[in-house]
Each structure stands twice: as C-alpha cells, then as structure tokens.
Amino acid sequence: MKRILIVEDQPDIRKLIRMTLEFENYEIHEAADGAFGLRMASAIQPDLMLLDVMMPGELDGLQVCQRIKNDPALKSVKIVLLTARGQQKDREAGAAAGADEYLVKPFSPLQLIETLERLVDTPV
C-alpha cells in the first residue's frame, strides 16, 4: 500500500483530499503546516506528498519541497504541489524546488487521482 502525506493548512481541503483518496488503496497521513509535515515525512517515509505551497508558519510548501528533495533519505518522495497560483513563474518556482507535479486549485478529484496514480507507479 502506498503511503501519502497531505500537508495542507486548510482543514476543509485536507478533508476533501482525504475523502477522495479513501476509495483508493492508500495509507493517508496529514499535517497542518510545513514544519510538522517535514517532521512527519522523516518519520513515516511517504511514497508521495501533497504539499500546499502557501502555508502559515516557519516553512512554506516550496521550502519543505526543497528540504525533502535535498535530504538523501527522502529525495525519492514524489511531491505534488497544490496551489491557487498557476502562473508560469509559480510553476517555475515549484520546478526549481524539485516538485514532481503542480496542481492548481481548484482541481477535480479525478485529476488528483490520475496524477497520483501516474506518480506512484513511476519508478524512482
């Protein structure tokens, strides 16, 4: 079973994502901010992270993404950035941080599932 970590500060969005993924064969974990998400990633070693870009606190999604991709123990984790910012410069910032995929909110449940299936079935 693939392990998914959702790092999103909005409880309603986390719930929607969790409800979408509950019907799939995933072990789902959640964090409400970047610092906790980073600690959870180290603890649970997820296969994939859904990572909100704009979060309050000491670390935003881009910083968390960069730290994970620079950590030898975590660099194989696939990261999907979730954001309301869909401009080219935003996508470039996500790519520079090491994100594997970029989903612009609002996205459909089907789009989310297809993205995850494509990434978790891709060898590292």
Domain tally, the chain:
1
Q: What does 66-118 look like in DSSP terms, one character per residue?
A: HHHHH-TTTTT-EEEEEES--SHHHHHHHHHHT-SEEEESS--HHHHHHHHHH
**In the structure, what pLDDT confidence band is assigned to residue 122 with cuts at 50, 70 and 90?**
low
Residue 49 structural domain: 2-120
- Condensed to tens digits (0 to 9), the pLDDT of residues 48-82 reads 999 999 998 999 999 999 999 999 999 999 999 99
User: Domain holding 79: CATH number?
Assistant: 3.40.50.2300
Global pTM value: 0.94
Element (H, E) at 4: strand 2-7
